[in-house]
Structure 1
Amino acid sequence: MTASSPIVLIGGSGLGPWAWERVTPILHDHGFRTITPQLRTTGDDATPANAVSLDNWIEDIDEALSDQADATLVAHSFAGYVAAGVLERQPQSIRRLIFIDAVLPQPGRSWFDVMGAGVAGFMTSLANDGAIPWFSRDQLDQLYPDNGIGDADFAWMQQHLTAQPIGTYTQPAINEPLSAAGVPVAYVRCLRTSPPVAEVSAEKLGWSYRTLDAGHWPMITHPAETACVTMELATS
């Protein structure tokens, strides 16, 4: 990896470029260049959520990488679907893919397909104008009891969080297994996420595997550790 090779950071559901504000200064201090792409309807983008699909998000990353080469793609949580779709479409732009506590897609199957009709129906019932709101404080603590997000952090996040477009759940990300792209993959599991977001047999897959003693949003709660593992894997 050269000094001009970027680290491209993509946050999970509800997050935007703002979510990496505590990580990017550390990477910059160590000489790394970063890109935090703006996905449609996240952060301050005004695109209506009911007009956004998974393909749109993959296109957004494709565009961010259009003049880049040798990039390290870092995907958190649901962004695993986005990153995998990008990898299948333009592997020539990507040097390495790093999943951080990410959902892993299955070929030819959407997130709703994988989760089943019951979950899909329940999630759809929560939607407002084509998008599912982010967690309340009570929901967050119930679903992720060791999340590590303090009240001040949660208040800061609420200023920026956006709802998840239903359309991102209804499309497959990939048609072939991730291994078909021929790009090195690493998985970072956050140990305080229980049950794990994905069951990863790194040895079987031939992936690098690391852990963080953190909840599901380590870029918020453990930015130094998140930066360190990213730098290590990006240069390995």
Structure 2
Amino acid sequence: MPDLRPALTGPPPYQGRLREAVVAAVEHPTTLVAHSAAGPLVPAIVEALGPAAAATIFVDARLPHPGLSWLESLDGERAARLLEMVADGELPPWNTWFPAEALAADIPDDEVRERFSADLRPTPFALCAEKCPSPTPVFDGLPHAYVRLTPAYDDAADTAERAGWHVVRRDSVHLAPLTRADEVVNALHTIFAG
């Protein structure tokens, strides 16, 4: 998995650099797995991958919201809260957006939580304002699946199910790919087996 943090340095736009960092890391047909806020970037990555994209799996992830920025896709209260956090053109590291006990519930091991938090960087606010691309025929032609880990992503899982995607629902934590990888792997096996 590529380190995407360098793509968020320097001036905007950022989505193109994020896309290119992922594309540079893929050498053969692959299933693209997106977690959380990475979901809306998937259509552009798939387009750039072309035949190297075999399928997509969204894991507790936001779905594409074409023509809208991430900020525009949020409800008004959450958008306002994030706007209040912006300082010097950046949002603070992601772990500070939520109460400390929420992160502790997702990552109960103190040492792992400290290492995770130390790796986080501020997010350029300009990224939050960049419009997301529309899905293309390349994206629409791929098989898609959705793994719902937490109730916060029920609506996304429901939307994916209505679109005919294979949906697997688990009761876990949002950061399960880090702390409960076996649960996520089992959910992925369910998708590939079914």
**Structure 1 length-normalised TM:** 0.68
- CA distance in structure 2 between the partners assigned to 1:117 and 1:62 by the alignment: 33
Correspondence 1:154 to 2:130: no
Label 1:230 to 1:55 Cα distance change in 2 as closer, same or farther (>3 A): same
Say what the alpha-carbon RMSD is for the aligned residues. Answer: 3.1
Percent identical pairs in the alignment equals 24
Correspondence 1:233 to 2:191: yes
Whether the 8 Å CA contact 2:43–2:139 is kept in 1: the answer is no
Deviation at 1:140, TM superposition (A): 4.4
Correspondence 1:63 to 2:24: yes
Deviation at 1:96, TM superposition (A): 0.9
1:12-161 pair list within 5 angstroms = 36-39=1-4, 42=5, 45=6, 48=9, 51=12, 53-65=14-26, 68-115=27-74, 119-133=78-92, 134-136=94-96, 139-141=99-101, 147=106, 149-161=108-120
Deviation at 1:127, TM superposition (A): 2.2
**1:10 corresponds to:** none
Label 1:121 to 1:179 Cα distance change in 2 as closer, same or farther (>3 A): farther
- CA distance in structure 1 between the partners assigned to 2:37 and 2:152 by the alignment: 16
Label 1:140 to 1:92 Cα distance change in 2 as closer, same or farther (>3 A): farther
Select the structure with the greater relative contact order (CA < 8 A; seq sep ≥ 6): 1
How many residue pairs get aligned? The number is: 193
Uncovered stretches (5+) of structure 2, i.e. residues with no partner: none
Label 1:130 to 1:177 Cα distance change in 2 as closer, same or farther (>3 A): same
Whether the 8 Å CA contact 1:188–1:212 is kept in 2: the answer is yes
The Cα offsets for residues 25-54 of structure 1, whole Å up to 9 and x where unpaired, read as xxxxxxxxxxx0121xx2xx4963655622
Greater per-residue helix proportion: 2
Whether the 8 Å CA contact 1:108–1:175 is kept in 2: the answer is yes
Uncovered stretches (5+) of structure 1, i.e. residues with no partner: 1-35
Whether the 8 Å CA contact 1:102–1:197 is kept in 2: the answer is no
**Structure 2 length-normalised TM:** 0.80
The Cα offsets for residues 86-132 of structure 1, whole Å up to 9 and x where unpaired, read as 12343422111010000112221111121256644432331233321
The Cα offsets for residues 49-69 of structure 1, whole Å up to 9 and x where unpaired, read as 65562232122212223xx23
Label 1:120 to 1:59 Cα distance change in 2 as closer, same or farther (>3 A): farther
Label 1:141 to 1:189 Cα distance change in 2 as closer, same or farther (>3 A): same
